[in-house]
Amino acid sequence: MQTLLKELPRDLDQKRLPRHVAVIMDGNGRWAKRRGLPRIIGHRQGVDALKNLLRCCDDWGIEALTAYAFSTENWGRPNEEVDFLMTLFERVLMRELQEMMEENVRIEFVGNLAVLPRSLQTQIARSMTLTKENTGIQFTVATNYGGRQEILQAARAIATQVQQGNIQPDEIDEALFSQHLYTANVCDPDLLIRTSGEMRLSNFLLWQMAYAEIYITDALWPDFDRGEFHRALSNYQQRSRRFGKI
Ligand code: IPE
Ligand code: IPE
Ligand code: MG
């Protein structure tokens, strides 16, 4: 089955694929609970789903994938779960870096990274530096990311520039503002996918999502496979993106 889907499914139009796909990987806990397993097993399984999606995007010719791994609100979870996730991120990075290099992936992390555990920050910095010149898929991982926090830090940076007399207030336009966001070097998402049925943004890419097409599936994140992604893309290609026009 997997080999059959290695190439872009025939019913999809190569020319009308989203350039940038963003995913809210939700439902790891529920996936585990349904199996009578601890939530952390769901997170571990979720890593495999993400790996598979990254490879699929690469195979099918999608330029950029952004995944929501940890929100600024997720610190409110029990300590054991937060600790497990931080350790998981670090281990996965160490384990997968070599393969990402071989596959020409450019990995970037967005969010308030400075407060993450030191050892995780080290792995993040290392992976970003090493893959910086790669020319394949742009893979962005939102870690300790919050849309409002991102907008606030951009506003502060711009205010400082104004205060120093480097720019005038009326020079602040959408392009300049975008340049101060974490996502300055990637286009806005064309398609947002959220798994496990929840119909909310949960503080993800609030500015960038202004005109994203939203696709919500009941599938839980660890079950999100190529077949599910195929369905999301088919649905996307049936939409008429008007951007306010008629
Ligand atoms: C998403 O799955 C993963 C993270 C937020 C890190 P959840 O952990 O939110 O799973 P549910 O929503 O409780 O099922
Ligand atoms: C959103 O999922 C955050 C991530 C997927 C990292 P949550 O499970 O934290 O979102 P809510 O609490 O249902 O809004
Ligand atoms: Mg959730």
Each residue of 113-139: pLDDT tens digit? Answer: 999 999 999 999 999 999 999 999 999
pLDDT higher than threshold 60 for residue 2 = no
pLDDT of residue 102: 98
Q: Please write down the long-range contacts of 31-40, taking CB distance under 8 Å and 24 or more positions apart.
A: 31/220, 31/221, 31/222, 31/223, 34/220, 39/81, 40/81, 40/84, 40/88
- Domain locations in the chain? 18-236
Among the listed residues 17, 21, 38, 20, the one whose alpha carbon sits nearest the alpha carbon of residue 29:
38
Distance CA 66, CA 22 (A): 5
Among this protein's residues, is 235 annotated catalytic?
A: no
Residue 23, both tokens: 């995913």
> What pTM was computed for the model?
0.97
pLDDT higher than threshold 90 for residue 3 = no
Task: Give 5's DSSP letter.
Answer: G
Distance CA 57, CA 174 (A): 29
Average pLDDT, the chain: 97
The radius of gyration computed from the CA coordinates of the chain, to the nearest angstrom, equals 18
Active-site option among 52, 58, 59, 74: 74
CATH superfamily entry for domain 18-236: Decaprenyl diphosphate synthase-like (3.40.1180.10)
Q: Is the CB of 141 under 6 A from ligand 2?
A: no
